[in-house]
Amino acid sequence: MLEVNDLHKAYGHHHVLRGVSLAVQPGTIHGLIGANGAGKTTLLNCLYGLESDFSGTVRDTGSGRLVRETTGLVPYEPYFYPRITGREYVEFCLQARQRPVPDLRGWNEVLELPLDQYATEYSAGMKKKLALLAALVQDFAYLILDEPFNGLDLEANMLLKELLKRLRHRGTGILLTSHILGTLTEVADEATVLVGGLVQHRYQAAEFGTLEADLLAALHGEKLGQLHKLL
């Protein structure tokens, strides 16, 4: 499993993560929930090795290999070099890991990307799908997806949910963030709520019924009181 244990991370005097622990089991989807600035992306970056100046441990307990060797990352805003086509981007990602470039046609029948156009000219949703394609063809044991539903239209959103469920069924462990609570609870098996860099609560799927009400109370308790006076 992917394991994060007692993770602390600060930017200068700003203590962004304050002792976060969580685990992602193979064949499960783990949702990471938190307000803007709660520390979700920082946590994913530490887990993936994009940040190194932190305390605590991150590891893939099953293989003992570095997390980034067994895990694919789809970042919040994937970066694409100028004048690189979608196809060249995928090839670049594979070659960087010394992996053979497979035939992309099968996956692209599903994702329907204009692979011979420049990636910088893609729409936001297409850019997300391209980064996803580059991760999917590498058949990772784990995937870290930062806001994967962001920018996707209704059709792509439904497709991604189905795809995630199938990956889970095949044994992939998935850690994802989403501000779209309904979408996240539809696919996730468990969820961790981060508030101010601390784990505020963990939920199993059976407890998702109370998640939204709990979040409302935790994040907007005072405003709810005022709202009740008004309405």
User: Looking at 20, 38, 135, 152, which residue binds ligand ATP (CB under 6 A)?
Assistant: 38
User: Looking at 39, 72, 86, 148, which residue binds ligand ATP (CB under 6 A)?
Assistant: 39
Residue 36, interface with ligand ATP (CB under 6 A)? Answer: yes
Residue 209, interface with ligand ATP (CB under 6 A)? Answer: no
Beta strand residue intervals within the chain, DSSP E: 2-11, 14-24, 29-34, 55-60, 71-74, 142-146, 173-177, 190-195, 198-204
User: Looking at 27, 37, 102, 171, which residue binds ligand ATP (CB under 6 A)?
Assistant: 37
Question: Would you put residue 163 in left (φ > 0), alpha (ψ -120 to 50) or beta?
Answer: alpha
Residue 42, interface with ligand ATP (CB under 6 A)? Answer: yes
Residue 185, interface with ligand ATP (CB under 6 A)? Answer: no
Stretch that binds ligand ATP, among 29-37, 100-108, 126-134, 213-221 (CB under 6 A): 29-37
* Distance in angstroms (rounded) separating the CA atoms of residues 41 and 177: 8
Number of amino acids touching ligand ATP (CB under 6 A): 11
180-212 burial: b if 16+ Cβ within 10 Å, else e: eeebbbebbbbbbbbbebebbbebebeebeebe
Of 170 and 202, nearer to ligand ATP (C-beta) is 202
In the bound complex, what is the minimum distance in angstroms from residue 230's beta carbon to ligand ATP?
Answer: 28
In the bound complex, what is the minimum distance in angstroms from residue 53's beta carbon to ligand ATP?
Answer: 11
In 3D space, the residue among 168, 193, 163 whose CA is nearest the CA of residue 181 turns out to be: 193
- Catalog residues that contact ligand ATP under the rule CB under 6 A: 11, 14, 16, 34, 36-42
